[in-house]
Amino acid sequence: MPYKLLFVCLGNICRSPSAENIMNHLIEQADLSEHILCDSAGTSSYHVGSPPDRRMSAAAATKLGIKLRGRARQFQKSDFQNFDLILPMDRENYENILTLDRTKQYQHKVRLMCEFCSQHTLKEVPDPYYGGQEGFNQVIDLLIDACEGLLTKVKSEEL
């Protein structure tokens, strides 16, 4: 059974698809594609069906040389069962996810993305949507750091 990761932000067009694609990139480099699966979702339904934001895609292409793939979808209660670890980008999305877990049986699966950073000290991945290109570049840097830490943890504890 592969270990399944779900990255979550508000609209699922900037931060969470970036995390998903960066993580997939690192997983492929580590030759672990059969062992770890990634997906992403948004807590809102604003952008369902939309591709990743073009500014986010530009930052990922420039910084890592990867193309952001995927279409936005909304977080579902069934995601609690379907994923081993759910990784919201910020405190607000963390709280929104936990609110859906009324029985509190899945709280242990929900961890803030920045918990896995080793270089950066930010506690949340900031939403770059209303800012300039520098914000998108910062998100990519932050997510590379967090994804590297996350991959190290998953490899040591789950595989």
Catalytic residues: 9, 15, 127
Neighbouring CB atoms inside 10 A of 93's CB total 28
Contact 69, 35 (CB under 8 A): no
For the record, the structure tokens of 48 come out as 């369902």
Contact 111, 98 (CB under 8 A): no
Indicate the burial class of 104 (C-beta count within 10 angstroms; 0-12, 13-18, 19 or more): exposed
Indicate the burial class of 103 (C-beta count within 10 angstroms; 0-12, 13-18, 19 or more): exposed
